[in-house]
Structures are given as C-alpha cells and as structure tokens.
Structure 1
C-alpha cells in the first residue's frame, strides 16, 4: 500500500501543467540539440518552491541544484527540502555554503564552512548528490576541477593495496589530526599496521588493519570501548577542509605574498587568507556546472539572485583596488567569481527553472516558456489552535486533504488531542525512512486512528517535518500547514543554536540592561547608563558606553574596556545615589566598605578560630583497623580524593569540632571520604549519623555502607520509612543504648525521640535540601560534634564562604580513572529521541532513568515507553507509593530485574548504579539548575560513555532563566563542573540572603559583584596571603575594533557580546563566540574580527603582566609591569632572532612593524606567543 502522504504529494506531479513543464525541461537537457526557450515558473510560494523542486528532481531523474539568495536563505530552504525528500524516502539534500570571507579581506574562511563545502562539492563531483542547496555566492564561485574535489575523499577497500604513508599525509592534508585514542570526528591514529580514523558523516570510526601493503580488514569500532563492533567491505574517508594544507604550497605562497601576515609565521604554516592566494599558482578553472553536468538548476527569484551577484561585485572591485594600492599580491575578482551574465551564458542549453512567486511580464517573452502554478501561502495561526481547527474543519468540508507538519511528538500529541476533541477524523503518519537521531534501524510506517469507530475515511494527517511553512494548492484541494503556521514560534527559535561560551554564563552580561539602569564603574563609582555612542578616536570610529554621574557629568567608556563596568545589583531593589565624577565620594565609599568588610572578615575568622579552641573529641591517628579499612577500598583513590581524606583526618585529630564541606562532582568519591570518617568514629566507641534528604538515598547509602563495612564488626542501621514502626522502635532503642554504631536516615534522625548514646560524627548529604528547622538543629549539633557536609552543588552562602576562605572546604575535581564525560543533549521532546536513547542503552546491556516529575501522568508515560520499546522491562517509582512497594521497585532495579526506571525526581539523590548510563529528563525547563545537575549525575558512574537527554516541551515558552539553566547544563558537560554550576546557580538566585543584615547597606553602596570581589581580597590580606595588584593592560593599535550597530542593532545584545568577547581566555572560548556571532548575526565584519583578535591579545597581555601594547608610527611598544616574570632566556632568544627589536631596562620592548596596518594584530600576537612559549 502506498504511503498516503507520499501519494498526496505525488498528485501534484500528476497535474497536466506539471507534466508539461517536465517535458519542456527534458527538451533543454544537455546534449540535446534544441532551441527550446527557458522555463519560467510563477505562482509558487516560498514553501511551494521547495516542494516543487523535489518533485521535479524525481520526475526528471537528475540531480537538482537549488540556488537561493544567501547562506541564511539556503539554510531555511534546506530544512523544507529535507522534509519533502524524507517523505519520498530520499536522502537529505547536500548543503554547499558560500564563503563567509571575500578574497581581499586577509582572512581565512570559517573551518565549519570549509568542511561543509568540501563535503558538498565532493559529493556533487562524485555524483552522490541528488539534491543540493546553495546560495548564489557559491553558484557563481570559480572552483577547482571535479577531479580535485573527488580526490579530497579517499576510498579504502578490503583487499586493495594501500600506500600507508601517502594516506597518512593525505589525512593531515585534508584536516585530520593525530590523536590516540580516536574519540572524535577528524582524528586518526596509527599503531603498527592498524589505522584508526573517524571520518565526517560516519556512523562510527573505522579500524583499518594492514597485512603488508594490503588492506586485510576494515571494522567499525565503538569510541567508548575502543572495541570493534562489525566488519565493513569498504569505507570512504571524507575531508574536513576544502583547502588541502600542503607545506610546499604554503611555503611558495608565503614567498609570493607581500602581506605582513606571512612574515611572522613559520614557512610552511598556514597564514590568514592563504586560501585565496592558491589561484596565484593554480588558477580556478571550473564552475559549479562542471561538477554536475546533468544537473537541473532551480533559481529561486532570479532577479534577486542577480542583485545579490551585483552586490557582491560592488564589494569585490573596491576591495581589489585597495589591495592593489597597498601593494598586495592578489588576483582580480574575475579569477574568483562569475558575473551574472557569465553564469547565465553557461546555463544556456541546460535544464533551468526560473522560479518567481509573482508572474512578471518579460520583455523577450518569446524566449521563455512560462508556467503558472496557483499556490497560496498557508494561513498562520500564531498559536491560536481554535482558529486552526475551525480552518481545518472548513477545508475538510470542501473536500480538501490536509497535512499538518510538526517538529516533534509533543506538538503531534497536542494536535491529536485537539482533533480528537473536535471529532475530526485523522491519522498519524510516520515518514518512510524516518530515523531517530542515532538510530541504526529504519522506522516503520505507523497508523493510529485516534477516533475509533468513526466511519469517515480520514483526509487529515499529522506528520513530522522541519518545513516551517506550508502552502495551499486550490486546484488539487491540498492544504499543508508547517510547524510555524500552527504554533507561535520564531524562525530563530526553530533552528538549533550553538552552545554559548562558558565565560558568558558567569558574567553579569548586561542581557537586561536598558537606558536609565544603574551601573558600577570600578574607578568612578555608580552612574546611570544612558546608551551607546559612536565617536571617532584618532580617526578610528569607536563605540562608547555613555554614563551619567552627578550634575549631569558624562563619562564615555570604550566598549572594549567593559571589564571595568558591572551592572549594579543591590539587595531588595534599592535605588543608589549617583557618584560625583572626579569627586572623592566614591573613594570614601569604597574605603568605608573595605573597612567594614575587613571587620566582618576578622569577626568570621575569629569565630572559626574560636571553633578551633572549642571542646570536642580529638580522634587518634590511623591504627591497623583504619589502615585495613582503607586498603579494602576496591578502587584507586584520585589525588583530590586522597587530599580530602587527609584533610578530614587532620580535622578529626584536632580537639575542635570539625566543620568541613566536601564539594565534589556526583560519583567522584565523596561517600568514601565519609565512610572512612565514620569508620574512625565507630572504631573509637563513638556513633556516626548519616543524614540524607530522601528515603531512596538513605537506602542507597545503607546498602553502600553495609557492603563496605561487611568485613568489620560494626553495626549499621537505617532509620527511614523503608522500616516498619516496630523496626524503627528497635533501632531507636539500640541507638540510645549504644548497640548501633552507624545510623543512616532522612530528617527523621533529627526528631526529638532520636537519642544517641555518644554521637561523634554527623555526615550531611546535600544540606541545602533540608528545611530551616532541620538546619537549626544541625547548627546546634555542630557545636559539639564533628560535621562533614557533602555536596556537588553547595548553597550560595556555603559556596561563597568556601570561595573566600571562611570555611574549611575540600574540592574533589579529579574524575575517577576511566570516568568519561556525560554527553548532554538539550532538545524538544521527541518520541524518536526517547526511543533511540533507551534502545541504544539497552543494546549495550545498560539501564535507563526516565524522569517525569508529574505523578498523575507517570503511568501514561510508562505505557508510551512500553509501546516505543516493547522489549524494555519498565518499573515506576514516585514518592506517593507505598513504602514497601517503592523498596521493591528500587531493589528490583538495583538487581537489574528491570532496565528502565520511570520516576519522578525521587531519583535525584538516589541510586548509584554503574549500569545506568542514560537518563532522559522530560520537561527539563521546569527544573532548577542544581536539580538538573544532580539528576544528570545519576549516570556516568563507570567507564562507559553516559548520555543525558534534557527534553523541553515545544508548547511552553522557555523563560530566560530556564533557557539559561539548560544552556549551562549543556555547556558544563565536561567532568568536574559541579562547582562552577553552583557558581552560576548563585548568580541565578541573586544576592538574596547571602549576607547578614548588617552588610546589606554595604552591598547596596558598591553593588553585589564588586562587594564580593572586595570581600575576597580582604580575607586574603587578613590571612597574610600574597595578593598581586590587578592589571588592566592598555592596548592601542589604531584599529577599528567594534561591533557595528548595523551588525547587531540591539544595544543590550551588543553590550552582552562586548562583555563576552572582553572575557575570552581560551582559544575554544573564542571559537564558540565566533560561532555564536555568525549563527545569530551572519558573517563577521572586519571590525568584529579585529575585536576578537584584540581580546585574545589583551588576555595574553594579562597573563604575561604586560601594562600596555601600543603602536606608534611603525613601531610596536610593549611595556612590562614591574611584577612581570619575564623569561630572560626566551627574551634573549627572541632578541637574537630579530635584530631590529630593542629592549630597555625599564621593561619596554620595541618591535619594528612590517606591512599594512591590518597586520598589526597578528604581529603583536605572534610576538607575545614567542615570548610566552
């Protein structure tokens, strides 16, 4: 039986006018002698163009190249065409982006674009692309030969002879990196005669084993286990760059180039913009049409494409002229691009479709065959589904067939419920060939009549597809509604957003700064933000933040120096007074606050000093029992874990009561630290209590402690609702008599009827989850017994005190041996994701948590999971279950009797099971950051790769706070990040109750951020710690370093990006910032690239304690701070290799500059890199 949706779409191709258009195109096929006119199609909406293009490709049986106006437009076309192609069971279209850089900008194309172009052009040249989408800038670009692009990919077949050295050289040339073991795309390694390599678009990396020069076997292998999983007959190693990195080529290009950039790079290394110098040696002799001679060209609004080509040339010609005036060695634009007329001439005799939405009158109409297809844009309901349902009912009464496209199962379910309520017959249809992300098998066609017993034959289907907008074809009685027609979503939200820089997460990033808000300038005090102003400084346009102070005085802060500015955050919404610019009031305020915080810090330090002298129990050092217990630990202690154990031991050997916080990532060994402390107490005739926030965690700790202490005569009991009233009564009696050594329980342990015989230690797990009353009880305990707090995400006050040194704190940031990072995916809810996630884990013998924090709908979730994964053994757990029933569920899961646990957040601080390595969290946007972090930490307890899927509802608009929390979880996917997550949580919760009431006034006087900085410094000084003066290097290079308002029009977004860029430190942070800018705002203008280079240079100068980097005429002056530790050997080596460079005893380095002003930043950066090493 033919798929009904496929049949519906194929009806369009059966229309007489469509068939006639196909015949007209066939008459113009290459190789045919025909004077047939060109084909112009009008009346197609934007969505209709993408559908008709796919239908045309199928009808003609040839590749089709869809040409859009820009990269952004082409990406939108790509989503829609992929939807239609999937419905026909065809592979997705190939994406060939245009370069983001023009030849005369002295920069290299983005690596991601270069990789996508290499893959797309290679597939096109090899005849492996049936559909391709590209902007006109890519279609008009001159290219290398088809053989060149085909050669970028290397096939490897079993039984073939293989020149290994040549292949290794080729892999490095096309962008692969040596890395052992191979874990990521673009890596390869060689061990004897075994080559491991991970190619782009490959499902898994491959292992090629040689016998002599012959390929003996090719096997896929698992990156987690590094073990082979299946044989292959052949594999294709795809490139990661369009521009092969050949050392001889780069050396020759550097010799030919007159740019200053090449002079500071080692010969044979790539230099900025080298890719556009290649045609100096080997001219670009081909065009896109040479790569696919039989292809049909589909021009989307050709008049707009022509304007875009003309716009490109209007930029290229003056840039080329300027480059010539600068004496640069370069080729004219016609060596890189075709003009519109040239492209049109090459298309003569080809199968070409000119698609225009409006039917325009052409001057030479006799040379054009026109077809008009009366399509209409689909109505948009902007989330008004009642209006949508009424429209569907009306269309169905008019005998229309209706297809509703959704982006995920959540939207599908929502529509299904509404249609069922209105008694509208429909079917849910899965696309043929639909694959869930990462799934190995092909999905089957599924039908689900939601209205059973209805005799009507449904003419309405719900299917999944990324096409944002639909269309109406009145002549065929077809209505298609896209996901953005149905739901109130924006195009930006519909597309995936690349992860933001980790640095930006911690910043007060001005995301909500508006004119009239208060700010704090570190040197000038509190002012009022009035907006941004562009002012020419030394002939270079610069953007400044305008701040108003008392008496309407103005201060203009260069946006490149936003590190001096913070948004003012006081407590309880206080409104501060403005400072006088240049006056003494700000200095007096800071001095007053500094004195007060020194007094407060002194008092806190005195308090902790008093605790040091308070009466407690000084436990003896390690005896043979303690040594035996430590030796029985089945794992090797990590360095951080060992340090924490030693710090706890030293605390317990002092007579003062211990109060230590162990802050360690989930599963990093905090429990072992606690067990060793408890063992020390129990073996010296004292009792230990382990306090947990949940019953489940109490049970887990009970099992862990019992197993660990099994060989020793120590009695361990549990006091929680897992025990009957009689059992609890017996435990209480034995606890009071001293027969119980260690008791584990929930806040039940803090009840008045719990009496200890001789309590010596309290271990508190996740103290922040206890209520105020329980915390007060704990505070009383801390006066006389040792207290050990365990937490992966400390409460803000605890974290802050730990940071500034006011509380004993141990950090465990080292992961256990073989522990792998948790791969975190944040995505809209999709049954495909759920099915894939569970099946992948079960296939490798693991277990899965599915978290759904709504008890009433949890049984329905269990039923749906069972339908998706029939072979799964599913159990359900939530806090409203009977205690015995919950215990049985948990025990069954522990014993692997079940392999999927659908539960509420009762598992958050729950079971620690090494086999659980996948967790799916539904409605993640409703949870806090600490909660999500703890949930994710339930997996990844072994050396297996762990997965966390944070699924959000498509129906809900995420609040900025929720979006930021989810974004943070994805960014903090590396190991040991819990401490920094807590830092972010502190920012998200606000200043609140962080400090005592007496300090509120001081926080309001200087703002929360500056207050925290000053407090930390005060404590360091009181402790006698060495504090280095803060250094803000001055960088003056006379370059345009800014974010033009034309690039980011919104002021607060521009400020945020200035703050992000100004705080960049590591290269990967810069990469992420570039990706975010390009993803959200398009290709980077030169001033923004300069700003990124400036930030990188400033960061290096800060690390090297450099006061200033200035350009004066043709000389670069670098002034070192007196505290800078200059590597004299490296400095002397640098001076020896550069005779023109001078260094004075005052710490000033003078470097002669070469070339144009554009080369100043690369030269300055190169100098610092050589001095730093």
Structure 2
C-alpha cells in the first residue's frame, strides 16, 4: 500500500472498523475504506464510485476504478494483485471478466520482428505515425512503439535482427524514453468475454459495500462519531475561529498544488503552527472526535470546484510531428527538406537519424541527440532550399546580419530606453494578494502558474514590462491578468484594461467585480453601456478614486486621464487598428504593458519568437475540456435544420454567425422557415447598446435557442450552454477570426461542434484558411494557427523603419 507523501498520519488516526456496513452519508464510505487499508488490496462497492475514486487516489497510489473501457487494465491488475483499492459500482459487478491471453515480451528473448507486428495487428492494435493512445503501435526501422492495454505508459521495443535488445517506457507527449524495463505483457485490444463476472472474481479479496444505518455489526467492532467538515464560504475569519475550537486535535489541510500549499502556509502558519498543510485531494473534509482528527479541504474553505489534474497535459506539437516534405532549418547548413527518419549503422552501433535533403540532392543525417539543432521552418513556402557548398549558408547569414544591423540597432535602442526608463517596481506579494489568489475557484494549470510567476517578476523589476501572453481561448488568461492587475493596485497604481468590443469589456467587468468584491478595489466600465455615468467615471479616474478601468478603444481618447497609471492590459491585441496601436506604443516606454491573445498577429508572434518581446505561453487545457469537432459544409436547409435541432434537443444553444448586417434580417427569415420550432435572437454592432445588452442577456438566460449574430461575439463571450456554432460564408474570415469564433463553444465538458458554411468554389487562399481551421481543431491549436498565419501571410515588413 503506497500512501502519498505526508498523508500517512491521516490514515493512522482513523480507527479500525471491522464491519462491512456503513451509513449512507458521504464520507462514511471513504472513512471505512481508509480504516480497512491494512487488508489491501481492497475492493469497494459504492454508488459514489466517481467521488470515492477521486478521493482515495488523492491519498493513495495504485487506485483503480472499473468501467466498460478499462476491463483489461483492471483484470490484469487483479490477476497480478497490483492495486491498493479497486472501486466499483453495483452495476459493475455484472461486467464479464475478460479472458486474458497475454504475450510476455522480455529483454534478450528471441522474437521475429514480423511475427511481433502480425501479433499486434491480429490483436486489434492500430498502426499510427506516433503512439499517443492505448491500443496503438508505430514502426520506425527496428524500433516498435506500442501502448499495451492494461499498462499506464507505452513501451519502446528495439530489435537487433530477431532479438529484443531493449525495452523502455516512453512519454507519449514528448516521445522521449523514460526508463528501461525488463519485460512487458501485451494483451489483446478487444479480448474475449469470459463467463464469470467481476462480482464473482472480487470475492477472493476483502471488500466493503454500502447499506444499513450502522458502521459496524460485528461484536468486537467499534462505532465512532464523525462529522462532515462545515462549509466556510471563503470566510477566513470564521475558519480561523473554528480551528481555535479544535485545540488539541491533529489538524490537516489538503491543498491542490505546491503553489497553493505555500500560499496557505503564509496565510495560516503563524497563527496555527501545529496545522499540517499537505498536497492531496478530497472532495470534502471530516472530523473524527474519538481520535481527535480533523481534515479540511479547499472545498470546505473556498467552495472550489476542484478536479484532479490529468497526468498527461496537452502541449503544442513537438519536433517529432514533422512530416516528410516539411521544410526545416539546420543551424549550420540552412534550409532543407525533411525526408524522414532512418537507422544508420556506424561500427556496431545503430543510431536513429533525421534525413534532410539540400540543393543538388545533397543530404545530411542528423542523429537524434543533435536534433536540437534542427527546427521547423516558419515563413513563406516559395523559398529556395540551401546549398551545402562550402560557406554558402554562412555567407547568407552574414548578409542578413548586415542588412538588419541598422534596424537591430534601432530596436535595441528602443528596448534599451525601456530598460533604462525609470519604471515602477512593484512590491512583493501582499497578504491580500495571497488571499485573493487563494479564493480562485479552480485549480491553476502549471502553465498558468508559470505565466503568473513570469509576469510578477517583470512587475517587480525596476523597468517597464512588455509581455505577450499567448493562450488558447478559455485557458485562463483572464485570471492571469486579474492577478497582475491586483498586484499593481496593491501598490497604489491604476490599471487600464483595453478590449476590442463592448461585450468583452462588460464580461471582463463582471469577472473582475465578482473576484475582487471582498477587497477595497474599485472597478469601473467605460463603454456605450455606461454613457449616462461617463462624466462621473472620467472625473473619478483622473482623481484616482478608480483602481481598475475596463473599456474599448474609448480609453485611448484624449479626455481619458489617469492620476497614476501603472499597467495597461490589452486583450486580443490583433483586433486593434494601426492608429490605436500608435497611441498604445507611446504608453509602452513608461508603463507596464501586458498583451493577451489566442492567435497573435503574425508580426507580434514573429517579434515574440525572435526574442524581441517577452513571451508567456499557456498550452494546457482546463480539466474536462474537449476539442471542438469542426466540419466544412455547403448551405443545405436539411443539414442546418438537423444541426440546430440536435443541439437544442440536448438542452443546448446555437450561435449562427452571418457577418453582413445588410442581409442578416433575410437570414433570420430563412432560419425561421427552416426551423420554425426554435426561438431566434439577433445581435449586431449597429443595435442600440440597451437593445444589444437585452438580446445577449436573454440568450444567456436561455430565452433564445439560437443567436443569429455578426462577428461581434468573436472575442470573449462565455456562454457554456452554447455548444454548436454555424459560421456562414466562413471563407470570408481570417484564420484568427475563425479560431476566435470557434472558441465561443466547447467551454463545458459537453462535446461541441463547429460548422463552416462555404461556397462550392472559392479562391485558393480562402480554401487553405478554411481547411487549416478544420485540420487544427485539437486542444491548444491557437498557437499553431498563429504560426500557420505567419507562414501564409508572412511577418509583414517587420524590419522596415515604418514598423
């Protein structure tokens, strides 16, 4: 039995219960399970399977939860007794136990390479380019990657003639080897179902189940009192009072992450030195009075909707995703064509190499351990590949260096001026800062925490910040910006948040108001929604009574004056025009600037990738987020009717985007004819602000099934119940616009759909854009789309003096 670090004290202080019957209220089943761990491995049958599975695995390692999809994995663990706790529902007991015929592969054994590949195919394994999921295998020379069902990580099998010379586990994301192993058992992907059930098989193990009203029916058992920890509703004062009443108790607080653990220590350790704060997970805390044990969780204190972080996080595509024919750049030899991977034998050693072709069919072979010198080419496609003739690439690099010398000097002067400019250095985090961050109702991803730390370091430096925060739609950029804004306000400075649309400004306003309501921070909105209060807002802003002002380009007007502006946050920077950016540029010398985008404009991205702009990237999706399924269709009344009704019938709502105000009324009539049974609201930029606000509010409150809108909803509108979007004339939109529009759906755990309506004939460039959006529909594709935009459009005149 493997207990997660620091939590053994909890398990030790739960009294032993020998009965198998317990009261219905959760966490009774959890406590009984923890008290029975000496009998490990242990099986638990409960209606609360999901909750118990998460809670137990927050304290123990090797916890399994049975489902129809992982019967082989669970059956293999049962046969090998390689688990601490198996959690099942009563229905799971009837699942047939699979017949496990496995093939053990050992290092050093004789095994014909072709026989092994045939075995994998016969057992239902799917051959792919790279192994990512269970049940897949890939072949590269004498190396076979396979992800066996029943295993938690894939395996790399290396052959030399017909001998298995190496077995290694590897990371399916980075494709890098992790550790060597001696053997692995391969099971069929879809095994034959046996005649016995899981219910019959687990009888040989100690097990417990639900029912009745007593904890223990056995004579020697002991009934003990426990209570569920109360909800404190983010009230630190009330929580501290409760801790004082538990004098003499051993008190644990479980935090969701190392960063949260440190924050809680700073908030509570001085006042309660005996409090034990450990990293772990439980859905609710409990108090056992007999053994004077109290365990509290973030759910008890903050009401957080915590989810355990996935082990494998989705990142942008690694170098290994290069396809044959892609252009690549080698540091020493220049631009060539990637022709795939080959095994090269040098003496007695075989090494895997990337093959790159240059002009006149010359080739170089790059060993995997020198792959860091190779990168995918980003730029226009019509470029000549380099020659390997002596000195050609070096001369070309020298000419480029000469041509950019002058502009590089000017850029250097600009950034030197910024570094030398007397910026304001923020103080280290205050107690209020730590308390505000602790009240965030979700668990931050590692990328979010890294971005927050990078921005805080910039803010605490004595020169102005200029950083681009690039993160997928809905990946948590707003929370990062909010923490930066609060930090600046804590030092008496003001913050301006610039958005491209009034709707996005309003959404940010409500988010900031709600998160900061417990603190003495005044947040105001300046947009056409606040016309009647404009004079008062402008006066209070100039006199310093407003801490955070949120608005559109109206904030750049000459009559908007600040008492002490410290930070400008620009959301969706690619949506602002040239004149607006010129005004923003003047701010950049003196104040901190944070730009945010899911798909930055090519020039901004190029500057960031080149190191001219500081750059933070959020690549990890929130737990439960699914990719949006994207389809390209032609206008068809029957298909449109089916798509809308399917979403409405599952209780959802639909965005229908038509970006021409002149003809939007005609489209509304068409839709009313095609789907007369649904209610349709219309939104566009020429509507009066109160009318637009009413329509949006009605859609949010589900008074409309379909919102027919222009691209006004592109930026930032967050309506989790809308999970289908139909974009009419999608070929008329840019890559970034299409990606932003698609980002309006898929903001809940429910599967989301995006339909791009295009004509049968369109220009080549438009066709490329639309098919790129369909191709890059996976989670985290925004950064990839921005890079593709850079390839298709080029970076613009990035080195011209007018830039």
- 2:491 pairs with 1:684: yes
CA distance in structure 2 between the aligned counterparts of 1:864 and 1:835, rounded to whole angstroms: 11
2:335–2:358 contact (8 Å) kept in structure 1: no
Deviation of residue 246 (structure 1)? 8.6
CA displacement, residues 239-277 of structure 1 (integer Å, 9 cap, x when unaligned): xxxxxx9989x99xxx9xxxxx972357695379999xx
More divergent stretch after superposition (698-707 vs 783-792): 698-707
CA distance in structure 2 between the aligned counterparts of 1:645 and 1:546, rounded to whole angstroms: 43
* Structure 2 counterpart of 1:939, from 737, 745, 748: 745
With over 3 angstroms needed to count, the CA separation of the structure-2 counterparts of 1:952 and 1:685, relative to structure 1, is same
2:335–2:377 contact (8 Å) kept in structure 1: no
- Partner residue in 2 for 1:791: 597
* Structure 2 counterpart of 1:674, from 457, 481, 484: 481
1:662–1:791 contact (8 Å) kept in structure 2: yes
- Partner residue in 2 for 1:593: 400
* Structure 2 counterpart of 1:658, from 465, 475, 489: 465
Deviation of residue 560 (structure 1)? 11
CA displacement, residues 174-224 of structure 1 (integer Å, 9 cap, x when unaligned): xxxxx99989xxx6646989xxxxxxxxxxxxx995766889xxxxxxxxx
- 2:706 pairs with 1:900: yes
* Structure 2 counterpart of 1:977, from 770, 781, 798: 781
- 2:434 pairs with 1:627: yes
- Partner residue in 2 for 1:866: 672
CA distance in structure 2 between the aligned counterparts of 1:525 and 1:683, rounded to whole angstroms: 50
1:702–1:717 contact (8 Å) kept in structure 2: yes
CA distance in structure 2 between the aligned counterparts of 1:880 and 1:853, rounded to whole angstroms: 12
* Structure possessing the higher radius of gyration over alpha carbons: 1
CA displacement, residues 42-70 of structure 1 (integer Å, 9 cap, x when unaligned): xxxxxxxxxxxxxxxxxxxxxxxxxxxxx
TM-score (norm 2): 0.55
- Partner residue in 2 for 1:992: 796
- Partner residue in 1 for 2:772: 968
- Partner residue in 1 for 2:192: none
CA displacement, residues 448-483 of structure 1 (integer Å, 9 cap, x when unaligned): xxxxxxxxxxxxxxxxxxxxxxxxxxxxxxxxxxxx
* Structure 2 counterpart of 1:710, from 512, 517, 521: 517
CA distance in structure 1 between the aligned counterparts of 2:118 and 2:685, rounded to whole angstroms: 62
- 2:578 pairs with 1:772: yes
Deviation of residue 898 (structure 1)? 2.3
Across the aligned residues of Structure 1 and Structure 2, the Cα RMSD in angstroms comes to 4.6
Q: Residues 476-491 of structure 1 correspond to what in structure 2 (within 5 A)?
A: none
Deviation of residue 795 (structure 1)? 1.4
- 2:500 pairs with 1:693: yes
2:378–2:787 contact (8 Å) kept in structure 1: no
2:603–2:795 contact (8 Å) kept in structure 1: no
CA distance in structure 2 between the aligned counterparts of 1:526 and 1:835, rounded to whole angstroms: 50
- 2:587 pairs with 1:781: yes
With over 3 angstroms needed to count, the CA separation of the structure-2 counterparts of 1:593 and 1:758, relative to structure 1, is same
- 2:687 pairs with 1:881: yes
CA distance in structure 2 between the aligned counterparts of 1:737 and 1:996, rounded to whole angstroms: 41
CA distance in structure 2 between the aligned counterparts of 1:824 and 1:524, rounded to whole angstroms: 39
* Structure 2 counterpart of 1:741, from 532, 547, 552: 547
CA distance in structure 2 between the aligned counterparts of 1:905 and 1:970, rounded to whole angstroms: 19
- Partner residue in 1 for 2:44: none
With over 3 angstroms needed to count, the CA separation of the structure-2 counterparts of 1:246 and 1:589, relative to structure 1, is same
CA distance in structure 1 between the aligned counterparts of 2:434 and 2:619, rounded to whole angstroms: 25
CA distance in structure 2 between the aligned counterparts of 1:743 and 1:896, rounded to whole angstroms: 30
2:682–2:709 contact (8 Å) kept in structure 1: yes
CA distance in structure 2 between the aligned counterparts of 1:213 and 1:520, rounded to whole angstroms: 54
Q: Residues 155-554 of structure 1 correspond to what in structure 2 (within 5 A)?
A: 189=71, 209=91, 263-264=112-113, 270=119
Deviation of residue 968 (structure 1)? 1.7
TM-score (norm 1): 0.39
User: What's the secondary structure of 2:777's corresponding residue?
Assistant: coil
* Structure 2 counterpart of 1:930, from 711, 736, 743: 736
With over 3 angstroms needed to count, the CA separation of the structure-2 counterparts of 1:270 and 1:807, relative to structure 1, is same
Deviation of residue 803 (structure 1)? 1.6
With over 3 angstroms needed to count, the CA separation of the structure-2 counterparts of 1:916 and 1:592, relative to structure 1, is same
User: What's the secondary structure of 2:661's corresponding residue?
Assistant: coil
1:520–1:568 contact (8 Å) kept in structure 2: no
Q: Across the two proteins, how many residue pairs are aligned to each other?
A: 508
* Structure 2 counterpart of 1:618, from 410, 425, 431: 425
Q: Residues 746-765 of structure 1 correspond to what in structure 2 (within 5 A)?
A: 746-765=552-571
- Partner residue in 2 for 1:646: 453
- For structure 1, the 5+ residue unaligned runs are 1-178, 194-206, 216-236, 238-244, 256-260, 276-500, 512-518, 530-543, 548-554, 1000-1173
Deviation of residue 510 (structure 1)? 9.3
1:247–1:269 contact (8 Å) kept in structure 2: no
With over 3 angstroms needed to count, the CA separation of the structure-2 counterparts of 1:604 and 1:213, relative to structure 1, is closer
2:464–2:589 contact (8 Å) kept in structure 1: yes
With over 3 angstroms needed to count, the CA separation of the structure-2 counterparts of 1:595 and 1:723, relative to structure 1, is same
With over 3 angstroms needed to count, the CA separation of the structure-2 counterparts of 1:505 and 1:904, relative to structure 1, is farther
User: What's the secondary structure of 2:703's corresponding residue?
Assistant: coil
Q: Residues 1138-1153 of structure 1 correspond to what in structure 2 (within 5 A)?
A: none
- Partner residue in 2 for 1:1003: none
More divergent stretch after superposition (807-816 vs 830-839): 830-839
- Partner residue in 2 for 1:854: 660
CA distance in structure 1 between the aligned counterparts of 2:653 and 2:66, rounded to whole angstroms: 26
CA displacement, residues 774-817 of structure 1 (integer Å, 9 cap, x when unaligned): 11111111111111111111111221222232221111111112
- For structure 2, the 5+ residue unaligned runs are 1-63, 76-88, 125-316, 338-355, 367-372
1:508–1:566 contact (8 Å) kept in structure 2: no
